Chain A
């Protein structure tokens, strides 16, 4: 953007839980009542999808205009039915299987083939290069495969010895 052309930055649009209530339309979309005004077709996303903390922070966006409505620090403070909608939406939108056990990691030509057991069942995937294995913290890891799917290891120390040793070799 040219200097000065950028639209004036929206004031920190922090939402308060009591200002919002959510509902699902028959078309499956989410509508939001914000301080009395009705906003249809709302998208919910996480500003920090991978960090340890802030997992309860969510951003609301108008799906059609892509305009941000605001950010809510903790969606668990919403009324029960709205909270339920957010939780459901996040559970569908963010698919990050948790790796519980690693059976095998094979490497050929710089591609790692992982055979793992996740909380969503057994799976095999390919990772291109080591830079797609990301250590988030001492215990947590995020792995991104060729197609852009993400997998998570919640606690390195909870893994069995075999899995850990495979990880260490390829980290």
Chain B
């Protein structure tokens, strides 16, 4: 079956270009009819891919379909017949429906690719009756809220964005990226110039030995000229010595240069990363961020110190050898260079395929890794469900696929390398043949045995650079991709860090939320009009179901996020006016799953406080009810914990993190479900520790277990981003609202447990 022509190339960027061109609809519209809104569609009502459009004019709603590049009308509806336009979003497609007097009509169908445009058109219709002034405002509002959605397509060109990135690599100016990249080499300008000179020198020197060979064969041996022999040998020795000395310097220099550049890059990225907003980290997988600091910088280093100088070498070698060959014998030179284009083309084709072959190997490899990463941490479950055999079989299957791909790759290589080498050999053999015939049959010709051998020598030098240059474009692409990832980090606006803002040595801890609204990057508001005043030293309990907005309220205080609307005030200052460093220095946080860094317990307790004394650490640990269990360890406070250290139980970690908070002595304390993950016995210990911690501090405690909030001065119940109840424990119980219902449920449950 012949491949049909791909008519429907619905690549979004083409589509958007299409869309702006309103002329294509002029034949459909009446003379005075003006277009209010239009959008593209890609499905017929029956669900076949088509190219179509929906037009909304002041008089009609028109649905068209493209036939031979011209839009023809499929259906039309006078506006006065339509009551409302609604978009039905379904699985993989959507339907624009028009509600008329007595029925609902399916007007047009489209895939999700067009959904946003159709939404906009429907919204435009439903706004038609409204005042034009509010209309303009609304469109602006819609636009800005849309920008905050997760971007999957480039706003400029409509192409899909690379995974885990919001920079469209099609739209970036590659030359500019390149220039920026070169900025990192700028401090080492001298070294770079020297390196290039060195490399050029080596290249030039490498052209010398074949010429000497010619002298030996054509002059020294026929004339039995011992004197010239010595001279030639001397030059030969000198050349080789200098080549190797220069090479040694080159290797050292490029190593030095490479490491310096990569060091600068790495520290610049890491330094910048530390200053970025939390939301940057939440949007991206940890691995993706880590690889920017490690592998992307490596990639760039390789490009700057290896690929670039090598490219200079390759180009000069090609030109140099070309000139030498043509000056020696133009006819033979042509012949010698004849296989060059073939080698180039073959290399291009083969490397592309080789890359594909290796990509498969690499993917099977990462599948295998993913499988391991899945089952090894889950080994308990595997054993509990006795699925060892199944897991082994799964592994064997993946492993087998990896093996097959490897074998395939080897098979491919076994054709590739000998093949290329064969083509190159053919060139050499041709030169031997033609040059040799000329030498024998036509002794008068310019060719000599020495020239012929020199020629052959040069030819071997020639093909390496040809192949290397063929791979250049993919190298450049890789480097641009890596640079963009690196620059994306560097270009992201950091938090307003240590600098700027009011320094306040000691906050009282009076917190006020004034009409606070908040949304993460999606459209939905997480907090709606939160008003709450917390007196200095007061303990507030935050209660509500998961996702109600409790943690979000708490995280606005240390400015992990900024409010979308309204204000958070501490001691009467808007938190945005305070110096971030001084603000956070006075806020302590204890979370549900405390994080301990790899290091000793003492280091973890005194994290961020380099000047504390050992006694202070012990006092803090005692107050946190942690001292006793710490002393049980052989290494006591010097016990290494964290990823590679001794495993602490959840409750122990919790108490270490409370000790950390006590030592920090903050004015404001945030307890985010600090006791939810431990047993009753430990909870008691932690509760005591917390009571020590809470004293004299403004505290925001989030808790599921309401019994832990008995000491709270007031309890705030949050539902769907709003404060619904507020008051003391007793007041709320008396109100008979959500809190009292929760309270009774929980006490019942605990009674049941007790039985």
Contact = CB atoms under 8 A, between A and B. Distances in A.
Interface string A110-134: 1101010110111111111111000
Contacts of B92: 94-97, 148-150
Interface in B138-189: 152-153, 159-164, 169-170
B90 A5 contact: no
Given A3-B704, A92-B95, A128 B90 contact: no
Interface in B1-58: 3-4, 6-12, 43, 47-50
Contacts of A128: 152, 160-163
Contacts of B4: 117, 122
B385 interface: no
Contact of B104 (A28, A93, A94, A124): A28
Given A95-B92, A147-B152, A121 B102 contact: no
A47 interface: no
B545 A2 contact: yes
Contacts of A115: 6, 9
Given A5-B745, A95-B92, A122 B152 contact: no
A26 B101 CA distance: 11
Which interface residue of B50, B111, B746 has the most chain A CB atoms within 10 A? B111
A26 B103 contact: yes
Nearest to A123: B49
A11 interface: no
Contacts of B106: 28
B6 A3 contact: no
A63 B161 CA distance: 35
Interface in A79-114: 91-97, 103, 108-111, 113
A103 B12 CA distance: 19
B349 to A, nearest CB: 15
A145 B49 CA distance: 16
A149 B11 contact: no
Contacts of A136: none
B748 interface: yes
Interface stretch (B355-363, B376-384, B444-452, B568-576): B355-363
A12 interface: no
B239 interface: no
B363 A171 contact: yes
Interface in A131-154: 131, 145-150
Contact of A27 (B90, B103, B170): B103
A65 interface: no
Contact of A147 (B48, B50, B102, B112): B112
A105 to B, nearest CB: 10
A125 B545 CA distance: 40
B162 A111 contact: yes
Contact of A146 (B9, B97, B160, B363): B160
Contacts of B230: none
A100 B11 CA distance: 20
A95 B90 CA distance: 8
A115 B6 CA distance: 8
Contacts of A148: 92, 112
Contact of B6 (A103, A110, A125): A103
A169 B746 contact: no
B91 A93 contact: yes
B311 interface: no
B90 A126 contact: no
A111 to B, nearest CB: 5
Interface string A25-62: 01111000000000000000000010000000000000
B48 A121 contact: yes
Contacts of B169: 108-109
Interface residues on A, range: 35 or more
Contacts of A131: 163
Contacts of B170: 109
A118 B93 CA distance: 15
Given A123-B8, A124-B8, A5 B742 contact: yes
Interface in A1-31: 1-5, 26-29
Nearest to B169: A109
A1 B746 CA distance: 13
B111 A147 contact: yes
Contacts of A91: 47
Given A128-B152, A128-B163, A120 B91 contact: no
Q: Of residues B105, B112, B359, which shows the largest number of chain A Cβ atoms within 10 Å of its Cβ?
A: B112
Contact of B704 (A2, A147, A169): A2
Contacts of A109: 162, 169-170, 481
B242 interface: no
A171 B361 CA distance: 11
B306 interface: no
A95 B162 CA distance: 25
Contacts of B90: 92-95
A64 interface: no
Contacts of A2: 545, 704, 742, 745-746
Contact of A126 (B103, B104, B159): B159
Nearest to B104: A28
Contacts of B711: none
Interface in B544-591: 545-546
A42 B47 CA distance: 23
A121 B363 CA distance: 30
B363 A1 contact: no
A117 to B, nearest CB: 7
Most interface-central of B152, B160, B163, B748 (chain A CB within 10 A) = B160
A2 B744 CA distance: 12
Contacts of B3: 103
Contacts of A150: 91-92
B749 interface: yes
Interface in B102-125: 102-106, 111-113, 115
Nearest to A169: B356
Interface in B715-755: 741-742, 745-746, 748-749
A117 B43 CA distance: 14
A122 B164 CA distance: 29
Nearest to B547: A1
A149 B112 contact: yes
A118 B43 CA distance: 13
A121 B50 contact: yes
Nearest to B3: A103
Contacts of B11: 113, 124, 126
A134 B164 CA distance: 19
A148 B90 CA distance: 11
B91 A94 contact: yes
A26 B102 CA distance: 7
Contacts of B745: 2-5
Contacts of B91: 49, 93-96, 150
Contacts of A149: 92-93, 111-113
A19 B47 CA distance: 32
A145 B12 CA distance: 12
Contacts of A49: 91
B437 to A, nearest CB: 46
Contacts of A126: 11-12, 159-160
B546 A1 contact: yes
A159 to B, nearest CB: 13
A1 B545 contact: yes
Contacts of A120: 43, 47-49
Given A3-B746, A28-B103, A128-B161, 10 more contacts: A3-B704, A3-B745, A94-B90, A95-B47, A96-B92, A97-B49, A109-B162, A122-B8, A129-B164, A169-B356
20 contacts: A1-B545, A2-B745, A4-B748, A27-B103, A92-B47, A92-B90, A92-B95, A93-B91, A97-B92, A108-B169, A109-B162, A109-B170, A111-B161, A122-B7, A123-B8, A124-B6, A124-B8, A146-B153, A147-B113, A149-B111
Interface of B: 3-4, 6-12, 43, 47-50, 90-93, 95, 97, 99, 102-106, 111-113, 115, 152-153, 159-164, 169-170, 356, 359-360, 363, 481, 545-546, 704, 741-742, 745-746, 748-749
